[in-house]
Amino acid sequence: MLLVFSGAFFSCKKETGNILIEGQGGSGNIDLYYNDSLSTLGITIKEDSLLANGLSYSLLGTANDPELGLYSNSILTRMSIFEPQADFPNTLTPDSAILYLPFIEGVNYYGNYLEDQIIKISELETEIATNTTYYQGLDYSVVGAPTFYKGHTFFFDYHTVKHNNVDMLMPPGLYVKLDPLMAKRLMSFPVNDYENNELLQADFKGFAIEAIPNDLDPGNGGFGVFNMASTAAVSDMAKVLVYYNDTSDFIFKLSGSSSIINTGKSHGYSAAVNQQLNGSGYINSTVYAQGGNSVKGQVQIQDLDKLAAQGKVVVNKATVTVFLKDNTWDEFYFTRPLRINLLKPQENTIRNTIIKDQYDVSRPSNLLAIGGDLNESDNSYTFTITRQLQEWINDFSDGLNPNPSFNLTIPSDNPVTGARGVFDLSKTKIRVTYAVPN
C-alpha cells in the first residue's frame, strides 16, 4: 500500500543518522509517503555469536524440541576460596563432597520440567581466562573421574547441610554428592592452594557441569535456570562443600559471572531446519531461531532497490514487525520468547553486529533500545529500523549492491531462557514513512 500525505517540516535542524538531508532545515511543504508493501524471505543459518560469559544466570539441561530438534546447555565454572585456611589437612581422606547450584525458582524454565536429565560433573582441563569474551560454541576438554546425576533440573526442595558444624538451610537447587575420587582430588591440593586463589586455579581449572543427551522423545526435556553469580550469602551461592574429620568442612565458591561460561550444543536438528541449513539463498517463508549456539533466522527485505529508485529517498520512520508461526509454541512447556534480537550480519562472517538504530552518537558505549519485546496480543515483535533502512537505500542510490538483511536471534541474557522462535515471514510488516524532496 502506498499513501501520500501533505505535510510540513517546521524549522527542523540538521540531525545525524540520515534522517534529514542537507538543506532540509527550512520550513516548506513536502509530500510524505507511506509504504507497507515490502516483503521478506529468509534462510536459517548456524548461530555462533551468542555470548557465553558475563551473563546474569546460566542454563543447564537438554530438550528434544518438536520444532528444532535435540540441543543442550552446559556450565563451565572456575573455583575459588570462600575462606582461606592455613595448614589445611590435605593428607586426610574426605568424608564427602557436595556440589550445589542455586535454582531460579520457577522463573524462565523452558520445556518439560517433569523429565529426568543426565548431568555429568567433571574436572575442567581447559582454562577459563578472565577479561576474555567467550561464545557458546566454545570447545573444551575434561579430565578425571566424573560424577553422574540423574533427575530433574527443576527444584522445589530446600536442603539442610552443616557448615562450621551448624545447620545451614540452602534454597532449592541442584544438589549432588560428588564421586569419592573427585572428593579426594578436592581434598589433596598442595597446602598453599587453600589460601591462594591463583595457586588453586593453576592446579584446578574448574568444573564442567554438562547436560548429557539421552533418549528424549520430541517435546520432552527442558532447561533449568541457575544463579551462578550470587555472592550475597554462603547459603545461596554456587559452591562445593568438602567434609572431613566428621565435623569440619571447606567451601569452594563457584560464583562470579566473569568466570562462568554457559555453553550450547545441538545434537541433531529437525528435518525442516536441516533442509534450510543445507540449502542456500533467501527462499523460505519460515525461519528458525534458537539459543545456545544453535540457529538464527536471516531475513532479507525484497525489492528495496525499487523504493530507492524513486529518487533521493529520505526515511522519516521505518519499523519491521515479525510474527511467530501459528501452532509452534504452547503456554506451558515450549513458550514464546519474551524478547528477541534483530541484528545485522557482520560482513564476510556469520557473526552478528548491531544495526544503525542502536548506535548512540552522544554515548558510543551505550546501545539504544529498538524494540523486540513480545506483543502477546498477536505474537509479534516490532523493531525500529529507520537509520538502517536509510543506509541501505543510500547504498542502492549510490549504485552499490547492499544486502538488506537482518538476523533474528534469541538473546543469551535479559532474560536467560531456553526459548526458541519459529517465524512466519509471510506475515512480516515493514512500515516506512518517507519523503522524496527535489
| Reported confidence tier of residue 118, pLDDT bands at 50, 70, 90 | very high
Interval 212-232 mean pLDDT: 85
How many angstroms separate the CA atoms of 67 and 6, rounded?
Answer: 47
Task: Please report the pLDDT score of residue 106 as a whole number.
Answer: 61
Contact criterion met (CB below 8 Å) for 238 and 255: yes
Q: What's the pLDDT at 20?
A: 41
At residue 109, the pLDDT reads: 83
List, in order, residues 6 or more apart from 188 with CB less than 8 Å away: 90, 91
Confidence at 200, pLDDT banded by 50, 70, 90: very high
In sequence order, what are the residues at sequence separation of 6 or more whose Cβ sits closer than 8 angstroms to the Cβ of residue 112? Answer: 63, 219, 220, 221, 222, 333
For residues 149-175, one letter each, b for 16 or more C-beta atoms within 10 angstroms of the residue's C-beta and e for the rest, the string is beebbbbeeeeebebeeeeeebbbbbb
Nearest-angstrom CA–CA distance, 330 and 109: 13
Distance CA 319, CA 329 (A): 25
Residue 405 has pLDDT above 80, yes or no: yes
What predicted TM-score, i.e. pTM, was given to this entire model?
0.86
pLDDT-based confidence at 406, cuts 50/70/90? very high
d(CA 419, CA 415) in angstroms, rounded, equals 10
What is the C-alpha separation between 115 and 62, in angstroms, rounded? 10
Contacts of 383 (CB under 8 A, 6+ apart): 319, 320, 321, 342, 357, 370, 371, 372
Share of the chain above pLDDT 90, in %: 64
The strand pairing partners of 78, in sequence order, are none
Contact 174, 99 (CB under 8 A): yes
Q: Which of 421, 424, 378, 374 is nearest to 110 (CA)?
A: 421
Please give the average per-residue pLDDT across 22-43, as a whole number. 76
Using DSSP bridges, classify how beta strands 166-170 and 159-163 pair: parallel, antiparallel or unpaired. Answer: antiparallel
Contacts 24+ apart (CB under 8 A), 160-168: 161/98, 161/241, 162/243, 162/247, 162/249, 163/234, 163/241, 163/249, 163/251, 164/249, 165/247, 165/248, 168/234, 168/235
What is the grid cell recorded at 236? 545461596
- What's the number of CA atoms in the CB half-sphere (13 Å) around residue 69? 17
Q: Give the end-to-end CA distance of the chain in Å, rounded to a whole number.
A: 23
Average the pLDDT over 139-167 and give the result. Answer: 92
- In what helix (H) or strand (E) does residue 374 lie, and over which residues does it extend? strand 371-375
Question: Looking at residues 397-417, what average pLDDT do you find?
Answer: 91
